[in-house]
Chain A
Amino acid sequence: MRRKKQRTGADAVRKDAWKGRDVISILDFSRSELESLFALADTFVAGPAARRDLSQKIVATAFFEPSTRTRLSFTTAALRLGAKVIDLSPDVSSMLKGESLHDTTMMLDGYADLIVLRHPSEGAALLASEITSLPVINGGDGSQHHPTQAMLDLFTVRKIKGRVDGLTYAVMGDIRYGRSATSFLYGLTRYRPKKVHVISPESLRPRGEVVKALKGLGLKFDQHSDIQEVMADSDVIYLTRIQKERFPDPNDYEKVKGSYKLTREMATKAKPGSIIMHPLPRMTELPYQVDSLKAAAYMRQAHWGVPLRMAILSKVMGGGHAG
């Protein structure tokens, strides 16, 4: 395995060091590092085509699971910064012949300057980061982490509400298999939310190791089965779909399919000034009738994926803006 200098823990916190770093979990980043990322993302929101600092760089996207927003926003971000993008498609690559993640990563190591990896196995991005000397950005690993989505979600809250601290959050959906919701909860541990409600059917509640990690990080949350119990005091309502593809037994999915929904009628009773977020794609849990409400923030959330990921690529690959 090739070695690279990895900056983690207190050393990384002191230096606010992004350059050359892997992005595996949002828990690897301090609040000040996130804030410096958001400040840079703000400049890209203001003028997304203004910089072409990465014109000598090549970004490899390797998505072993379907993706729309993460893949395209990383590609768009790289192109806007002047970088080239090479794309590994598992359906037309040697993955079909049974090539391992190890060998695939080693190949990309020689072709690109950074790898964005999405994979159905938990720990895939961490393993890849140990194999390659290149920075690896985790675009989602199984049901575990989706750090750049969590960064985008925190950025969205900060952009619309002006702050992340002091707000009450309602996180509703499939927390058991959903990496976006789990990573968002991990991200909140870097801030001081007023309250956190987790709403899900009993079988889709957070996994034991996630509950243990959140408690260890000092995030207090209560669990509910009905969103209407917490609508009135929530500033941010964060929905996720049921992760059908991650259920080991399809019968278990059938039992919870369509078991929760935020209707327009329910949404109109939300706290004034509250926002509704969703990492998308949505299924039946978020009907289209909600879209026209002022609270609906999920399309802005998706669009800001480009400037936020421009900031990540700039920070990690340098170009004069690395923190």
Chain B
Amino acid sequence: MLASNEATKMLVTKISDGTVIDHVSAGKALSVLRLLGDPETKGATIALVMNVRSSKMGRKDILKVEGIELSTEQIQRLALIAPRASVNIVRSYKVAAKRSAVPPRTLRGVLSCTATTCVSVREKDSAPSIFFLSGRAPLRYRCKYCGRELDEKDISAQLA
């Protein structure tokens, strides 16, 4: 029987140039894909491996994006639904750079407050949605206007 790593390697071939996103929480690969946005990934070859065994996480998802190197902004957005993800930039079949998904300190217009009485909800046409990072593990964001916090579940639900 093959070890889990070898089994995973057999599922998807190596990419020559692009980005490998590892340590995505199991089941979140499709959300990550959506979060990365269509324009940037359009035309790229993308491989998703879901529910792979992981010694660190139990189960995890992996994404391989051929021909695209994720921008810093995309990696920050990635951190919102996969805060433990690692990003490897691949060039000529070798890992050229390793980056961690770091959640942005401030989010503008990305999330919505869950408090129905918050001014950013009631006056949403003229009021910006602004959230400040209030916790990394577990991930939490605090609304600038009403102080309510969104947890990982709230954030994933909004971005999925």
Query: B117: which A residues are within 8 A, CB to CB?
Result: 120-122, 142-143, 246
Partner among A102, A213, A248 whose Cβ is within 8 Å of the Cβ of B126: A102
Q: Is B116 an interface residue (CB 8 A)?
A: yes
Q: Give Cα distance in the complex from A144 to B115, angstroms.
A: 12
Q: How many residues of B contact A (CB 8 A)?
A: 20
Contact A122 B126 (CB under 8 A): no
Q: Give Cα distance in the complex from A135 to B120, angstroms.
A: 21
Docked complex: B99-142 residues within 8 A CB-CB of A: 115-123, 125-127, 142
Contact B118 A122 (CB under 8 A): yes
Chain A residues touching B, range: 20 to 34
Partner among B121, B123, B148 whose Cβ is within 8 Å of the Cβ of A102: B123
0/1 interface trace, chain B 145-160, chain A, CB 8 Å (1 if under): 1111100000000000
Q: Which of A36-44, A123-131, A227-235 contacts B (4 or more CB under 8 A)?
A: A123-131
Q: Is A101 an interface residue (CB 8 A)?
A: yes
Query: A100: which B residues are within 8 A, CB to CB?
Result: 123, 125-126
Query: A246: which B residues are within 8 A, CB to CB?
Result: 117
Docked complex: A107-149 residues within 8 A CB-CB of B: 119-124, 126-127, 141-144
Q: Give Cα distance in the complex from A95 to B119, angstroms.
A: 15
Q: Give Cα distance in the complex from A124 to B142, angstroms.
A: 16
Docked complex: A2-30 residues within 8 A CB-CB of B: none
Contact A127 B145 (CB under 8 A): yes
Q: Is A208 an interface residue (CB 8 A)?
A: yes
Q: How far is the CB of A207 from chain B (nearest CB, A)?
A: 8
Contact A101 B126 (CB under 8 A): yes
Q: Is B144 an interface residue (CB 8 A)?
A: yes
Q: Is A265 an interface residue (CB 8 A)?
A: no
Contact B149 A122 (CB under 8 A): no
Contact A121 B147 (CB under 8 A): no
* Closest Cβ neighbor of A121 among chain B residues: B119
Query: B119: which A residues are within 8 A, CB to CB?
Result: 101, 119, 121-124, 126-127, 141
- Which B residues lie at the A interface, using CB under 8 A? 115-123, 125-127, 142-149
List, sorted by A's number, 5 A–B pairs whose CB atoms are closer than 8 Å.
Answer: A122-B147, A123-B143, A124-B119, A142-B117, A213-B147
- Which A residues lie at the B interface, using CB under 8 A? 100-103, 119-124, 126-127, 141-144, 208-210, 212-213, 246, 248
